[in-house]
Amino acid sequence: MQITDPIIPRHIVWADPERFLVKLSPDAKYISYLAPFEDNLNLWVAPLGGSQMATPVTISQHPLKEYWWATDSSYLLYIHDHYGDENWQLHGFSLTTGKTITYTKPGTQVRVLHFSASKPNKILIGLNERDKRFHDPYLLDIQTGQLECLFENREYWDFFADDDLNLRLGIKVNGKGGEYIDIASPSKTCLSQVSLHDLFGLYYYPRLRLGLATNNKLYLTQSINNNTSMLISVDMSNQSVETLGKNNDADVCDVLLNPQNKVPLAFAVNYERKKWQSLDDATGVDFTYLQSIDDGDIDILSQSTDNEHWLVGFYRDNGPTAYYHYDRQQHQAHYLFDSHSDFKHYPFTKMHPRVITMRDGLSCVCYLSLPRQSDINEKGIPSQPLPLVLMVHGGPNYRDIWCFNPTHQWLANRGYAVLSVNYRASTGFGKAHLAAGHGEWGGKIQLDLLDAVEWAISQGITTRDKVAIMGRSFGGYATLVGLSMTPDVFCCGVDIVGPSNLETMAKHFPPYWRAMQGAIQEMLGCDPDTPEGNAYLKERSPLFYAKQIKKPLLIGHGANDVRVMQSESDQMVASLKENHIPVTYAIFPDEGHQFLHPGNRMAFYALAEAFLAKILKGQVEPYDEHVHTSMIVKEDDFKLHV
């Protein structure tokens, strides 16, 4: 191993941020954010410009998922689940009375659909209480908690409303894509069609859920007759379509709306990094000024109702997110705070975008991080070959982005090169890139990963005998495929909540995914309810190749995972034990598809760190026995947990 920086402690890299999901109240008097309180992310509020006066307004034993301001700034609404079960429960905190109301029942999943400035005391939500497969739309009075069911939903995946909280549109999903249905009309007319690509964009980029403006135009992203998704408007009176913005290399991934009339002001695309394009001169002046402040990627996190105040985040690859209050009238940004104030004491490394051409000519945007001491010129070229960890993202329709990536920083600090690949099926690069991955689980997607390894070897980044594979969810599946179906390529693997048997995975999807069944079948490449589909899924399942595994494997799983059941890891471990193949297996009784409790994250990554060091010989920080974790190590053939 070459010279490395001093170890950055795991509690620095993997702890919850000091401030996260920072927002501005609609009246621009307050800021809010999630921050640690009693070992969980809770909701805090402070006067704008007075963050030292912040106070927690929740004391939740469950990490909060998301929150929203009521449009008159009188309430904060927030959701959390119970130990990772994804049954999001909605609560409201009154800034006037200091009291909290619980709006929905445990065991029911809520979706927050629409807020209205003209009706600040009411919001539209969806609840799957009647039928777990579908969310019925409800009108909720946030002051009294009264719920009014608008109708029983048996077909729609999502809804859009106008500013009077009238339901106007519903999205129906089939195997080819979706339709925007005018549910306010007796004939239920189809106003616009969207591809599967556009639907996945809506799912993975929630802020693309644009909807109706006061000018009676529907704003949405769509890729009909184009490879990448475009920002378009549809005139509701005559269905005429206008293209407002597009990019040939990447999808529209974010849109900034005027909060008063809901008309787009700017849009963003993200090929290697996030770039904004303004749709009017005034907004263009704003972005020109903001770009002069910081070279990080810009995100407009929230706006005041009058659009005169913005909460802006600058995202960096080797440092914390910096938050600013931007006064548009004064054209002046006021620094508020960083997401992690202690990051400035540690030597984090850069993240380098790379475009790799796969064997069939497909271009994939990838991100490479190196140990800082091997990347002195910060060009992404190591002074000598390094052990490499191939980090595979989930989904498979998520994507990796340029940002401060804790996994990259942790691994690079321990002495490893880290490569993340936006393989075919990744969202953000056009529908051809997405569709190229349909039906390619364990197929061409896996070949993209192998091609990325070959690229890294050819560039002198690593050597053939020092490549590990690691990932969560689909990335965990890819890890299992890599070790079982190509047993000589990787020297070890770390699988986090990965499915081992696609047959059983498909049988246990959450019931509320039913509305997206056609899209899921297209993604998998088969109908799991047919014999032919089951045979295909079995062929692509690493469980049935487990006896071919001959390299070390570490598995971690949350016991309450509803997307990939714990049984997926249980059956893989059972098969390995039956074939006398060593494995270390850790489960977390209070987690689901993600490890949300910081103590659990630190415990698992301590295990992974010791595991990788046994094979790749990187740096190791001793295990901290004082970390509060629920981790149970069921199998430990590699003697990692002492």
Instruction: Cite the active site residues.
Output: 473, 561, 593
Contact 18, 400 (CB under 8 A): no
Residues 6 or more apart whose Cβ sits within 8 Å of residue 256: 264, 265, 266, 267, 268, 276, 283, 300, 303
- Three-state secondary-structure class, residue 519: helix
- For 478-503, give the DSSP string: HHHHHHHHSTTT-SEEEEES--S-HH
Task: List the structure tokens of 541.
Answer: 């399942």
Residue 95 C-alpha from the chain's centroid: 30
Name residue 488's amino acid: D
Query: What kind and span of H or E run contains 16?
Result: none
* Paired strand residues for 222: 230
For 367, phi and psi rounded to 5 degrees? -130, 130
How far apart CA 168 and CA 513 sit, in angstroms, is: 23
How far apart CA 576 and CA 559 sit, in angstroms, is: 20
Name residue 536's amino acid: Y
Name residue 303's amino acid: Q
How far apart CA 319 and CA 47 sit, in angstroms, is: 26
How are beta strands 241-245 and 252-257 bridged, if at all? Answer: unpaired
Contact 161, 126 (CB under 8 A): no
Residues 6 or more apart whose Cβ sits within 8 Å of residue 122: 116, 139, 140, 141, 142, 165
Contact 334, 293 (CB under 8 A): no
Contact 325, 334 (CB under 8 A): yes
How far apart CA 141 and CA 146 sit, in angstroms, is: 5
Residue 235: name the closest of 177, 192, 178 by CA. 192
Name residue 172's amino acid: K
Tokens 């509060």 belong to 628
How far apart CA 83 and CA 13 sit, in angstroms, is: 23
- Torsion sign across C-alpha atoms 594, 596, 599, 601: positive
Residue 64 C-alpha from the chain's centroid: 15
